[in-house]
Structure 1
């Protein structure tokens, strides 16, 4: 991978090369205060370091020397290695060698610049790291950088000859929370759809752009017209761009008991994937009409046909039933947006999270309704006019457009794991990705105060 020089306010980050060999660097590697939390260090020689730097240069990994802009002094190193292409993930490591420069915020400054580079330029979905629990100062730094604890491995680390706990931490980019919905690829879909169903060439352009910008998960369904076939053709023609795919059992089907596994396998063949990332029931009623399939889909997971099982829901009562009686589902997919908001959903979604059910949200733009002028509403949707006017007033007060409000509002909810969006063009996709990478102060309390009394209109199936 091509390692380029980067800059921050006070630092230059230069590709680590043999030219960085120095006695000072050797001294760092023999200073117990520097290496006590590193995997290597102590009894280092000039020749050892020379060989190490030659090896790193040959590997050409993402490895930078941290220099002060003021005097070009080399004060430490930072790297992202290895990179897991399947997970689109990189492993972070940092060493601040020059103790005279400790406590000045250089580690945080260098790390923020590297994180920005990884998420915005090379489109990593996540960055991971390992640290032992004794290294309190490093853990504080990582938490300030936005890393969260993913796993604590008991008695798996060693510090100064004593067994301790090792910690795995992770920082995800906003793009990693995004799932690309593909109903628009197979059907003419959405109240504000200006383009109609795209040609297969346009559909492929959208899928290429999604993958190239870090999106790794697609949502489709048997009922989405030709969507599954288009995705399968793309996967076959672009084997280096393999998506994780979630699909759904058609609500209207004629399957009999014991036929579901074969049906799932047929879906995988259509989608040209070895295993489905997720398989869902299309809605609550179709699931309740076929509850015998619950155990069959769990068996499909156990046998390796699918990685996760889920169900698409609408109401809080439906969510409650799943939590209480079908908690072996791995995820639920529910509407969540500026109108169908936290005031309606937070308590029940946190309850789902408490029993390890992931929360996937859809209808972030309410099928494009938020972009339809309040004076341009169909007769049936006119009761929503006042709420749309409220959104316009929030936009004017904050200077944040409705698209950004809608997407960032959902992304910033910590109890939401993934956010599903659909697009009709590459331009729309890239616009959404730009919003993902922006930092906006969303007025959550103002939005949460919006109480839509006509709740039936929050379900697009009631718009016809």
Structure 2
């Protein structure tokens, strides 16, 4: 079954449409990571772009061990100069190593999939050289779309993919990405946003973005009905069980701000995943939502 991967974006930024507690203090964040490790979590997801999340994770791991997946800087300010971009990528790797207090990064993902081929592949080639030198263990890509996932899977050096996924998200199924992943057993897949930034689990239609063709009240009612019919504990339980019921998913990234959320999700992860038949039942019962809802980057600004 897919493992619980501790997401750290909320530890470094006030993140999430349903986040009511905000960014925790440094002490609370470090304590949360250490408690997660004590409870058996062994993989942590972070990124240069997550505020000071890497620094907080690094402090928490000062006397602990975990497999850390981090992401290259988005390189938003490098312009069109390949030399500047490669130097910025090298700096990002060095900054991650320092913040995480790690000589060797376990796994580094491109935060922007385009950086694998941009500048004639110069950034990716430099990362490959750092991998071959032992500075990076495994390389991969954080993708936003099915096209990015399909492209990443054509590269034999991509060994890890992170993608958004939830029980409303039909895109990966229809684009054949799950089938393509079955042909790449060397690729580890982690999924994020299984609660769609909290919308699916919060049960509050007021926090949903206003998107044409989407009725939050109706969608949440459908989810509640599925919770009852499938005998699940809650909407959050259903969301996690559906993701963990996908054969291609090795880990589910769950972001947290509080120890109470950690306890709740640890409990839910002990429940059985949905069976393949139950997953198909969920897919048949839920509406086909527009891609604008499925990709938070496309949500209208409030």
TM-score range, shorter chain: 0.7 to 0.9
Q: Distance in 2 between matches of 1:420 and 1:218?
A: 8
Whole-angstrom distance in 2 between the partners of 1:371 and 1:258: 41
Offset of residue 292 of structure 1:
1.6
Give the corresponding residue for 1:371: 201
How far off its partner does 1:280 sit?
A: 1.1
Aligned position for 2:190: 360
Distance 1:311 1:377, change over 3 A: same
Give deviations 1:341-362, integer Å, cap 9, x for gaps. 5873683133134133221111
Q: Which has the higher contact order (CA 8 A, sep 6+)?
A: 2
Report if aligned partners of 1:265, 1:305 keep a CA contact under 8 Å in 2: no
Looking at structure 2, the residues matched to 281 and 342 of structure 1 have their Cα atoms a distance apart, in angstroms, of: 21
Structure with the bigger percentage of strand: 1
Q: Distance in 2 between matches of 1:353 and 1:182?
A: 28
Counterpart pick for 1:216 among 27, 42, 62:
42
Q: Which moved more, 1:445-454 or 1:216-225?
A: 445-454
- Shift of residue 266, structure 1, vs aligned partner: 3.1
Secondary structure of the corresponding residue to residue 338 of structure 1: coil
Structure 1 residue runs without a partner (length 5+): 1-173
Change (3 A) 1:263 1:378: closer
Partner residue, 2:228: 396
Please state whether the residue corresponding to 2:219 is helix, strand or coil.
helix
**1:276-291 alignment runs, 5 A limit:** 276-290=105-119, 291=121
RMSD of aligned residue pairs (Cα, Å): 2.3
From 201, 226, 242, give the equivalent of 1:409. 242
Superposition TM-score, scaled by structure 1 size:
0.57
Structure 2 residue aligned with 1:339: 168
Q: Which protein has the larger Cα radius of gyration, Structure 1 or Structure 2?
A: 1
Aligned pair partner of 2:279 in 444, 451, 459: 444
Report if aligned partners of 1:316, 1:345 keep a CA contact under 8 Å in 2: no
Please give the alpha-carbon distance, in whole angstroms, between the structure 2 residues aligned to 1:264 and 1:422: 23
Shift of 1:440: 5.5
**How far, CA to CA, are the matches of 1:208 and 1:345 in structure 2?**
39
The residue number in structure 2 matching 1:330 is 159
Mapping of residues 139-288 of structure 1, within 5 Å: 174=1, 177-236=3-62, 239=63, 241-251=64-74, 252-254=76-78, 255-257=84-86, 260-261=89-90, 263-288=92-117
Offset, 1:412: 2.2
| Change over 3 Å in CA distance of 1:387–1:327 after alignment to 2 | farther
Give, in angstroms, the shift of residue 278 of structure 1. 0.9
Indicate yes or no: 2:248 matched with 1:419: no
CA distance 1:343–1:269, shift in 2 (3 Å): closer
What displacement does 1:322 show? 1.7
State the 1:367 CA deviation: 0.8
2:127 to 279, 292, 297: 297
The match for 1:320 is 150
* Rounded Cα–Cα distance in structure 1 between residues aligned with 2:130 and 2:14: 32
Aligned match of 1:428 = 261
Give the number of aligned pairs.
286
Partner SS state of residue 68, structure 2:
strand
